[in-house]
């Protein structure tokens, strides 16, 4: 009978380490949380490459410590959050690949929990707001009797001028795009706003420009910085005035919506069939 020496017996740690070094596949079969856990617990050094809709992205680890992530113009935890939205992206592990930047400082559990939560939130929003380059527009004549605007929604509503994109509004009111989209969904549900494509937005023009162009100058090609000084307060002013006028007038001074709106305005800062080999690897990773 043949016996292995104790140091020749492959332990589970070594098996998992070899598995991650040769592993490649799709996130629909190997969830990202499991891959991140595997990178940490197997103490590998290298990069997990993920083919996303924005192009290839990378999550780097050194001896099992996640220290940098990037995809497109995102880095750090924002890149991790974006990876969790990719449900069927292809991936592979590149052993030994390193990066000079360090943008990750949280533990893998925190990163995965936040990433999964945000992915669920965006999955509910995407069917109605597919991207951040849409422009919100206030509706001209909503039914005032059923309108309820919360205090946290006022800054976003006040920033809607029919010119700014959702991304620009988020920068203008210093909120995360996810939070701005949540507010917009509430406004849309009450019939207060809708969104239009960027190429349907007309730029506010001076009288001379209107005479030269017939008032048909469109927004594409004009930078957000140029737009900042050309916002039209009249675009949403009529609606806001009607909303304020429709509220009860017997409120105490500190509860007056108009006063609160003015305070918020002042505080708002300016602008495939799988192989049996893969199945075996998956079984090992999950400890079955």
pLDDT in tens, 240-259: 555 555 555 544 444 444 45
Going from the C-alpha of 107 to that of each of 28, 65, 170, 213, 261, the distances in angstroms are 23, 9, 28, 56, 40
Q: What is the pLDDT of residues 72-98, one digit of tens each?
A: 999 999 999 999 999 899 999 999 999
pLDDT of residue 184: 96
Ranges in the chain, pLDDT < 70? 1-22, 142-146, 203-288
Question: What is the β-pairing status of strands 24-26 and 65-71?
Answer: unpaired
Q: Which two tokens stand for residue 158?
A: 């006040």
**What is the C-alpha to C-alpha distance for residues 172 and 8, in angstroms, rounded to an integer?**
62
Count CB atoms within 10 A of the CB of residue 136: 28
- pLDDT value at position 200? 87
Distance (Å, whole) CA 72 – CA 56: 8
Residue carrying structure tokens 């380059």: 133
Question: What is the reported pLDDT for 276?
Answer: 66
Nearest Cα neighbor of 45 from 58, 60, 62 is: 62
- At residue 202, the pLDDT reads 72
Residue-level pLDDT at 252:
46
């Amino acid at each position: 009978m043949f016996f292995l020496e104790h140091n020749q017996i492959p332990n589970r740690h070594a098996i998992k380490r070899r598995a991650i070094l040769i592993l490649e596949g799709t996130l629909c079969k190997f969830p990202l949380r499991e891959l991140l856990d595997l990178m940490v617990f197997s103490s590998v050094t290298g990069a997990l490459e993920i083919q996303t809709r924005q192009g290839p992205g990378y999550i780097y680890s050194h001896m099992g410590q996640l220290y940098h992530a990037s995809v497109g113009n995102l880095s750090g935890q924002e890149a991790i959050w974006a990876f969790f939205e990719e449900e069927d992206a292809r991936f592979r592990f590149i052993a030994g690949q390193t990066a000079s930047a360090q943008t990750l400082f949280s533990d893998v559990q925190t990163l995965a929990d936040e990433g999964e939560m945000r992915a669920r939130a965006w999955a509910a929003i995407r069917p109605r707001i597919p991207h951040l380059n849409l422009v919100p527009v206030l509706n001209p004549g909503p039914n005032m009797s059923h309108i309820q605007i919360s205090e946290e929604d006022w800054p976003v509503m006040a920033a809607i001028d029919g010119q700014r994109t959702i991304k620009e509004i988020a920068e203008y009111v210093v909120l995360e795009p996810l939070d701005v989209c949540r507010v917009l969904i509430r406004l849309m549900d009450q019939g207060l706003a809708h969104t239009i494509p960027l190429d349907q937005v007309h730029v506010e023009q001076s009288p001379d420009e209107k005479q030269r162009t017939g008032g048909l100058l469109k927004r594409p090609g004009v930078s957000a910085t140029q737009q900042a000084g050309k916002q039209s307060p009249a675009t949403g002013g009529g609606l806001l005035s009607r909303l304020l006028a429709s509220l009860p007038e017997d409120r105490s001074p500190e509860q007056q919506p108009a006063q609160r709106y003015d305070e918020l305005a002042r505080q708002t800062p300016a602008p495939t069939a799988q192989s049996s080999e893969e199945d075996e690897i998956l079984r090992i990773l999950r400890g079955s």
